[in-house]
Amino acid sequence: MDALSRLVDAFRCLPGIGPKSAQRMVFHLLQHQRQRGLHLASCLEQAMLAIQHCQRCNNYTEQDLCALCQNPSRDLSTICIVENPADVAAIEQCNAFNGCYYVLMGKISPLDGLGPEDIGLPRLRDLIIREDIKEVIFALSPTVEGQTTVHFIHELLRGHPLRISQLAHGIPSGGELEFLDANTISSALRNRAKINV
């Protein structure tokens, strides 16, 4: 395989990038952006070598502890459990949560060969006990695998004096009922909020 084919094949490892998109990107870099392509390669190599998992929350960081876990203004007694670092970024953009996180890097999925140990549940349990965590918030996808993971963690934590909650699921802001699926509408009805008059 020649260098061009190897580069196209390398771009295909990215989610949502098929053979045509990968080829288009490679041709663009070679034709118009060679210097930026070299810069991209350098940044990619540096990141792959430097970025590791936070020893506390499992998020990405270049240090032993990520910036969130090192921040003294964060509430270390509250943990929001998420599937991946992208979920942390999404919640942080809202500026509505001041606790810390635990990033599972996946969810329990027997079909994919992922069990409790593969997503760090023993480590999560140890963290909750060791640091005397007071509240756990589940922010996992409302899929079968996500809810299976929530159930498993809930059982794992049974007997610990914790406040446990889960993000509400329902109608998105700006969404119209006629375009939503039945499961979303059912979840919104079950988790409806009281309006004070």
* pLDDT exceeds 90 at position 195: no
- CATH 3.40.1360.10 residue window(s) in the chain: 53-166
Taking phi first (over 0 means left), then psi (-120 to 50 degrees means alpha), and beta for anything else, what does residue 174 get?
left
* pLDDT exceeds 70 at position 18: yes
Dist. CA 48–CA 139, nearest whole Å: 27
**Runs of H (alpha helix) within the chain:** 3-11, 19-32, 34-50, 67-70, 85-94, 121-130, 144-156, 182-190
Dist. CA 78–CA 101, nearest whole Å: 8
The fold for domain 3-50 equals Helicase, Ruva Protein; domain 3 (1.10.8)
Average pLDDT over residues 99-113: 94
Cα torsion 123, 65, 76, 57: sign: negative
Average pLDDT over residues 33-47: 94
Dist. CA 29–CA 36, nearest whole Å: 7
Query: How do residues 163-180 score in pLDDT, each as one tens digit?
Result: 999 988 777 777 776 777
Amino acid at 59: N
* pLDDT exceeds 70 at position 138: yes
Average pLDDT over residues 74-92: 95
- Which tokens is 112 given? 């994919």
- Which tokens is 105 given? 């890097």
Is residue 22 very low, low, confident or very high in pLDDT (cuts 50, 70, 90)?
Answer: very high
Question: 53-166 — its CATH code?
Answer: 3.40.1360.10
- CATH 1.10.8.420 residue window(s) in the chain: 3-50
Which of 109, 126, 127, 131 is closest to 118 using CA atoms? 109
Phi, psi of 61 (to 5 degrees): -165, 165
pTM of this structure: 0.83
CB 106 within 8 A of CB 58: no
